[in-house]
Chains A and B, each alone.
Chain A
């Protein structure tokens, strides 16, 4: 045994628990973005703001991916209408809890009631979509769900209902951010007198030169992480419940599950509705309030669904921990990192060239000039990022369709089938446990 193998063994054991994996990944993301901020010459409060931003995006992506995982990873339902259900959630909250005096007017219900209503609305729309759609083949289901999500978006976008939805310019009259209600006496104004709870927090922040808005957003982000943990635990519990075991059985072999007397259709509809409800929740936390609050139809284009899908495939469909890893890695490394890296490279190598198009960027190469091309690519980093996502998706499907964690065995049985439980045999560790198998003890 070489030292390298030993070290690897130790590492594998340390990283075996899911909590360590997730924590290590977040720590890595925070370190990376701290370094980005440092390289960009940000002061500490701005670095905090940057790290906060990437953490929030990671958390909301992880939430949406978890919701998709219950549908695709567990029940094998290929839903590519995620954006539509998120829109239903976000719009419902805005309509239920927006103030009645603003435009477009809301109903002015308390926020918890509004959130509940939003989740229920998304669930209900999910049920309506699921009942007929689940009779279809997988690829038909995909087309139907993406069509439904477009119908939802176009309906919200239409001038015909602009009095209720705000039309193309979106629902402006959003409910008050709950963190502001908690910390400020007048939630509408960030400079108003803090409440008893807000007093020490703002005082502490002011000492370190952190602005109030950053404080509010940071606390909201921490709240989002708590919600993420809650949803994760709920889904872990669901996955191990009889309900979740039937879902896994359906994913592996629906005919077999049906022959065992399970009403698979019923289970699929319930899984679909649960997933849609959670998508609604993700939409609410992401867009209806908090730092990225904006309920506008363009937010809910099918592209959003595809981002969430890429994130799920990175993490590995079928694994809840994988969903969180995938969501966070997608949001941080694929979405937020490239523009930062481009700015850092541009500053470091003093690339100032700004050709108007690809031809002007490529032509100087003949004379050995690479700067125009570099400048062009850095300026179009957003476009390149999408090309990169496409290439990554293809590579993942071709080479590693199981993603980061999708390959590990999630036994449906209550006892580990790999364990030899006969009396008289030596209690030996079997291979199934060594490959990170989740046991249900």
Chain B
């Protein structure tokens, strides 16, 4: 076997892809800078052409970097979950769904409304007890008079409602289930009404239709829940621990556990079942799949169920960790999700997961360099990363290996 000469290979690669080489060099520079910052080395303030770039390296505590990384992982897992859904519909239905962000919003609102009702009424037991009492007269009515309307509309203060995984875990789990279920129901209904009549249409027509869906869903949510942004979860009595100087609370741990479990489940489903095989076949070539006898309509339905379910869960979990929720929450996340999907290669669920993590990390770790007034540039940094990948590796960083 011939030994490869690494430097020579590198030079050849740089000659073949000058753009990619520049990007790689820039990334290496940033990495070096990060290492210098961690060690505490600084090379005097750099001034190029009259613009002050600040010192190379500098001071940055390891705990702060660890904090950014943890935040990045948390948001990255949410983006990853949502990206799987978008990636599935993108590859099987063949269009970029601009309403995907609003599916997240719908999932988050419906799920948290359920959590608020259950938690606000004191948990499942009193509800059951009261139901039994009103039907049969046995036992007692243990629900005190509560303002159900403001619970459903998420207007009760979070601490009063007890929207917290520690105080009312059952309510949170139920909320997650409702978020998944309602988003699936909504996606199927929208597919039936909007996308099914235009099944054979080109990607751009479907994309435009999805913009219409996005408007409809977003403002329907605004009509029901109002258009003010609110804090939904409470951190009262929430257990937390400190690792490497980063505070990690139970909500974040819940998010990581649930997200990873859902991703593993997705993997098993696509790789081990006949359905997964059918979906992969259809993503590859729809006509061929139909000729082979794959029930394409059923596969499409399954795609929506899986994609929307994960998306609804992503919305619910997003609120669990970030706690803010407004009717544009999902829409604001949409471009980051697109970035993740494109980075991972459309149609690849592992790519989507990895892309989500990369985008999540990029949007938080870039705070190492984008400090102070520049901190609003984290999203543009992620968008720029996406544009670069589209230009130099349009099939995604994993080379377009289709898994879904």
* Residues in chain A within 8 A of chain B (CB atoms): 78, 132, 135-140, 142-144, 146-148, 150-151, 154-155, 157-160, 162, 306, 309, 313, 357-360, 380, 383-384, 386-387, 389-394, 397-398, 401
Contacts and interface: CB of A to CB of B under 8 A. Distances in A.
B394 interface: yes
B269 interface: no
A89 B203 CA distance: 31
Q: Which 3 A-B pairs have the closest CB atoms?
A: A390-B215, A393-B212, A390-B216
Contact of B96 (A139, A306, A380): A139
5 contacts: A143-B338, A147-B386, A151-B383, A160-B374, A306-B211
Nearest to B391: A132
B391 A143 contact: no
Contacts of B380: 150-151, 154-155
A397 B203 contact: no
B394 A394 contact: no
B383 A150 contact: yes
Contacts, number: 131
Contact of B226 (A357, A391, A392, A401): A357
Interface stretch (B46-54, B104-112, B217-225, B289-297): B217-225
Interface string B337-371: 01100100000000000000000000000000000
B215 A146 contact: no
B397 interface: no
A158 B373 CA distance: 7
A215 B219 CA distance: 37
Interface string B199-211: 0010111011101
B311 to A, nearest CB: 18
A411 B222 CA distance: 46
A148 B339 CA distance: 12
Nearest to A363: B149
Given A140-B390, A360-B149, A383-B219, A150 B379 contact: yes
A391 B209 contact: no
A138 B203 contact: yes
A378 B259 CA distance: 42
Contacts of A151: 380, 383-384
Interface string B207-250: 11101111111111011101100000000000000000000000
B215 A306 contact: yes
A389 B383 CA distance: 28
Contacts of A139: 95-96, 203-204, 207
Interface of B: 95-96, 149, 152-153, 194, 197-198, 201, 203-205, 207-209, 211-220, 222-224, 226-227, 335, 338-339, 342, 372-374, 376-377, 379-380, 383-384, 386-387, 390-391, 394
B383 A158 contact: no
Contacts of B96: 139, 142-143
Given A151-B380, A151-B384, A387 B335 contact: no
B83 to A, nearest CB: 13
Contact of B215 (A132, A143, A359, A389): A389
Contacts of A390: 211-217, 219
Given A135-B391, A306-B215, A397-B205, A383 B222 contact: yes
Nearest to B96: A139
Given A158-B373, A386-B219, A397-B198, 12 more contacts: A139-B95, A139-B96, A144-B386, A148-B383, A148-B387, A160-B376, A309-B208, A358-B224, A387-B219, A391-B212, A392-B212, A393-B209
Contacts of A162: 373
Contacts of B394: 136-137, 140
B interface, over-half SS: helix
B95 A359 contact: no
Contacts of B223: 358, 380, 383-384, 387
Contacts of B220: 387
A372 to B, nearest CB: 13
Contacts of A143: 96, 335, 338, 342, 386, 390
A302 B167 CA distance: 40
A306 B226 CA distance: 22
Given A160-B377, A313-B208, A383-B222, A394 B213 contact: yes
Contacts of B379: 150, 154
A142 B222 CA distance: 26
Given A136-B390, A139-B96, A146 B209 contact: no
A439 B230 CA distance: 58
A155 B220 CA distance: 31
B373 A309 contact: no
Contact of B374 (A158, A358, A392): A158
A154 B209 contact: no
Contacts of B218: 386
A357 B153 contact: yes
A154 B377 contact: yes
Contact of B209 (A132, A306, A359, A394): A394
Nearest to A360: B149
B208 A393 contact: yes
A397 B209 contact: yes
Contacts of A387: 215-216, 219-220, 223
B212 A154 contact: no
B303 to A, nearest CB: 18
Contact of A359 (B153, B338, B383): B153
A373 to B, nearest CB: 12
A401 B212 CA distance: 13
A339 to B, nearest CB: 15
Contact of A158 (B203, B338, B377, B384): B377
A256 to B, nearest CB: 18
A146 B208 CA distance: 14
A81 to B, nearest CB: 11
Contacts of B335: 143, 146-147, 150
Nearest to A143: B338
A380 B225 CA distance: 12
Contacts of B209: 393-394, 397-398
B205 A401 contact: yes
A367 to B, nearest CB: 17
A132 B389 CA distance: 12
A151 B213 CA distance: 25
Which residue, B197, B215, B216, B373, has most C-beta atoms of chain A within 10 A? Answer: B215
B383 A147 contact: yes
Given A136-B390, A138-B204, A139-B96, A357 B149 contact: yes
Nearest to B152: A359
A150 B394 CA distance: 21
A177 B363 CA distance: 41
B109 to A, nearest CB: 13
Given A143-B338, A151-B383, A359-B153, A393 B204 contact: no
A11 B207 CA distance: 37
B204 to A, nearest CB: 6
Contacts of B211: 306, 309, 390, 393
A158 B375 CA distance: 9
B215 A159 contact: no
A394 B217 CA distance: 12
A157 B198 CA distance: 39
Given A140-B394, A360-B149, A394 B219 contact: no
A269 to B, nearest CB: 15
A154 to B, nearest CB: 5
